[in-house]
Chains A and B, each alone.
Chain A
Amino acid sequence: MHWRDRRWWTWGLLALVLAGCDRPGEKAEAGRIAAAEQRPGDPVRGRDALLNRAVVTCGPPHAAYAARAAAAEAPALNPAGRTGRNAELPYMLTAHVDPAGVELVTSNCLGCHAAPLEGELVIGLGNEFLDLTEDPLVAIEALGAGLAPGPERAAWRRWADRVGRVADYMMTDTVGVNSANNLTLALMAHRDPQTLAWSDAPLIAPPPTRPLPVSVPPWWHLAKKHALFYNGEGRGDHVRYMMLASTTCTDSVAEARAIDAWFVDVRAYLATLRPPPYPYPIDTELARVGARVFADRCASCHGTQGADGRYPNKLVALGKVGTDPALARAAFADADRFLDWFHDSFYGELGRSRPGLGYVAPPLDGIWATAPYLHNGAVPTLADLLESGARPAFWRHQRSGQALPEYDTERLGWRYRRLAAGKSAAMSWEERKHIYDTSLHGYGNQGHDFGDRLDPAARRALLEYLKTL
């Protein structure tokens, strides 16, 4: 079309006008996601900040925390570089002194984004065993119950009331699945986007109180990914998205700006993370065969490895990938008010949130370690992922108490038990919460059948290759 064509002007103007009205509803098309420049930061300072600085600025007073028997135990798995009081706290807690001088114990990113592997804490590995099914309210009230009126009680109250408001948006009905994105939406609903001031009553309609299940993605994809989140909506500057879910008590733009100033370092650190190598033997001959299968069947979406590797950053349409559509659909169709909020806020100044009706084909680096698979964690092992007919409809991890399951080097994933029936057949809450039931809304294990047409030998070889990533 020639630029002097009248119709060009007409359509152009119309498009401009529509774009104006349409701004918040801006959605992404399937396909490649363009790179976005990230602000530079110092990864060494970033690691120190991640381990020692509080991003959540409210929590129970240290005194109340220390009165609990469990606090007396030496913290397990604490990574090197935790300094001062933090060296005494479990890795998922960070000490913080509030403006009134009260020392607080606050939660940090590592509760979800770090997990033990082979007896060591791996920073960046998603915690797929977190139990968000428990009602936190009793424990919260108990922590404050012994505090006399004064600054400590006031600090406890601020945290208790805040968490109390959002607890229902975080509680899941299955151990292991996460709800952080639903929490983010709940925090938005309670804040003025311009000032970030907190409101006890929601200012826009809050998200549903039954969060859709999500698995926690590993941080070591960050160096490759152009957009954050499963549906690729996190376009532009990554730092402020990362902060968003965790600024439970950041009630002013000034405070958010102060966190942003050091969070560029945290992002820079996260972008240096690499996956842990597969710790068991690998049949390198077989893996070489598998590499060819991968190049043939998988690389167009997931990219290639090695020095000359390239990662295409593709958002794959729901119709093509076929996995459970609920998460992508909810963010695409039922979340415009949150897109508006984001774009009107400090957090949206440097980015554009663009949900797509599909899922990003993630890099597969360290894929052996990040079971269970798919955005909702519905598929327990890689062997199951490559053969959709073999996936269990109902399953639970094979573990006793808090111990982690064993790693299954045949199927690549944590050992699980296939069950004959789902949650509705379970007799107790305790039993019910451990069952992954793919018949529930958002928990589906369908789709991604790209491995189905492989013959068993090729599939075996491909599995072997996946160990090397």
Chain B
Amino acid sequence: MGGRGRHRLMALAAAWLLGGCEAPSAPPAPTADALVEGVALVATGVAPGALRLPDDHAAHPRQGGELWRLQAKLEVAGDRPQLFTLGIVRLNLGRPSRPQSSAWSSDALLWGWSARLGPDGPGLAQRRARATLGLAGAALSPARVWVRDWGLALGPGRPPWRLVFEDAEGTRLVLGGSRPALGLARLGETLGVEATTAGLQGYLLSGLTVAGRLVVAGRARPVTGQAWFEHLWGGGEGGTGAGAGLRLTRLTLQLDDARTLACVELRRAEAGGRPIPGCVLVDAAAQVHRFRRRELRLEPLEGGARPARWRLEIPAVALAVELTPWDDALETIAPGVAVRVAGRAEGRVIEGWGWVESIGPGQRRRGEGE
């Protein structure tokens, strides 16, 4: 992202700072921009840097924007499951600093939000702080990112993973799993290009199990569940801001047979052109399978810039599922839409859950006039 991109980031960050305590009305656009640019730049074929964990768990100060996020389905004994998402965004406010070994010293804003959707109804919480004030930050060893009382510990550098989220109210979620990290370049490859670029990098840890307790309105309840975690960064040096005019949709789906599907669809924001989908399937044995445009069918079942109803078919693995919104309430408070997955895989009925996020210019919330 060049100077133009950085101005966009700063304007957005300033808007949030000045925005008071209201729930933010837009998804974290800087990451969205970075994502779109990353995919657009994929086409120039610059090889991405190799993933270096545990270092890459921590912040990337030279990059303009960054996102740590976990998404989970939590089971509470004797109740309906709830979907839970937690994200922490870091935004550079000043010039990116030189890389540092332990943390970073540039002027950065951290913004965290969590959204819950379940028996107690929807719930949103958020935290914001400037990193320079010490109220927020990211440390390398042990890898950790925090905003006020929220802390996310990350590690180690290779599976089995152990990630812990904690807040001052007493919520504590421990995530574990042993599948290898999926580099974002793999997802870029599904779009039919060799490699992704410095424009956007990241990784996905899929097939995680969750155990711990969730505290809501002072009431603590033990929870178990499934989750994935991802960490994306981009918008730093080397980009060109070429993403304008494209809309990227990401669909991350957890199937109840332990498989995870990470799909992307790139399409022109204006009418016309052909959508370009691609998927990565991580199976229960942690094998990664990639499917390109011509090997799958992915189509929205409703109009609008941010559809939540989709059909996905991958004939090679006899998979055909439909996505429907999990609950219409959540989309207004979290970026993206939580979805239920239902369909068939190799003749068996299959279910699951996931998130669908569409980012790009001219985006509107679902239901707004198109």
A residues sitting closer than 8 Å to B (CB atoms) are 67-70, 134-139, 141-147, 157, 160-161, 164, 167-168, 171, 209, 429
Chain B residues whose CB sits within 8 angstroms of the CB of A136 once the complex forms: 192
- Enumerate chain B interface residues (CB-CB to A < 8 A): 39-46, 189, 191-194, 240-246, 266, 268, 272-274, 276, 290, 292-294
Q: In the bound complex, what is the Cα–Cα distance between A141 and B243 (angstroms)?
A: 9
Shortest A387–chain B CB gap in Å is 37
**Contact between chains at B272 and A138 (CB < 8 Å):** no
Nearest A residue to B267 via CB reads: A141
**Residues on the A chain within 8 Å of B292, using CB:** 135, 429
Q: Closest approach, in angstroms, between the C-beta of A277 and any C-beta of chain B?
A: 37
Nearest chain A CB to B195 CB, angstrom units: 11
Closest to A64 in B: B242
Most chain A beta-carbon contacts within 10 A, residue among B192, B240, B246: B192
Q: Give the residue of B193, B268, B293 whose beta carbon is less than 8 angstroms from that of A139.
A: B193
Q: Are B273 and A161 in contact (CB under 8 A)?
A: yes
User: In the complex, which of the residues A141, A147, A168 contacts B273, with contact meaning CB atoms closer than 8 Å?
Assistant: A141
Interface SS of chain B:
loop
B241 cross-chain contacts in A, Cβ below 8 A: 146
Q: Other than A69-B44, A70-B45, A429-B189, give 9 A-B pairs with Cβ distance below 8 A.
A: A135-B191, A138-B42, A138-B276, A139-B43, A141-B40, A141-B43, A143-B43, A145-B245, A147-B245
Most A CB atoms within 10 A — which of B46, B241, B246? B246
One of A141, A142, A429 near B44 (C-beta < 8 A): A142
How far in angstroms is the closest Cβ of chain B from A200?
10
Question: Complex formed: what's the CA distance from A135 to B39 in Å?
Answer: 14
Which residue of A141, A144, A167, A209 is within 8 Å of B266 (Cβ)?
Answer: A141
- A residues less than 8 Å from B40 (CB atoms): 141-142, 145
Q: Do residues B191 and A171 form an inter-chain contact, with CB atoms below 8 A? A: no
DSSP class of A's interface residues: helix, strand, loop or mixed? Answer: helix
Q: Which A-chain residue is minimally distant from B361 (CB atoms)?
A: A145
Contacts of A141 in B (CB 8 A): 40, 43, 246, 266, 268, 273, 276
A164 touches B243 (CB 8 A): no
What residues on B are CB-neighbors of A171 within 8 Å?
A: 294
How far does the alpha carbon of A69 sit from the alpha carbon of B197 in the complex, in Å? Answer: 13
Assess the A135–B273 pair: CB atoms within 8 A: no
Docked pose: A186 CA to B40 CA in angstroms: 28
User: Given the complex of chains A and B, what is the CA–CA distance between A67 and B44 in angstroms?
Assistant: 10
* Residue pair B294, A138 in contact (C-beta under 8 Å): no
| Distance between Cα atoms of A146 and B244 in the complex (Å) | 6
Most buried by B among A135, A138, A161, A171: A138
Is A142's CB under 8 angstroms from B290's CB?
no
Residues of A within 8 A of B193 (CB): 134-135, 138-139
**How near does chain B come to A149, taking the closest CB pair, in angstroms?**
9
Give Cα distance in the complex from A429 to B190, angstroms.
10
Does A157 lie within 8 Å of B44, measured CB to CB? no
Q: Which residues of B contact A161 (CB under 8 A)?
A: 272-273
Contact check, B44 vs A70: say whether CB atoms are below 8 A apart: yes
The 8 closest A-B pairs by CB, nearest first: A135-B192, A142-B43, A139-B43, A145-B245, A142-B40, A164-B274, A146-B242, A137-B276
CB nearest neighbor in A for B295:
A429
Which residue of A is nearest B291, CB measured?
Answer: A429
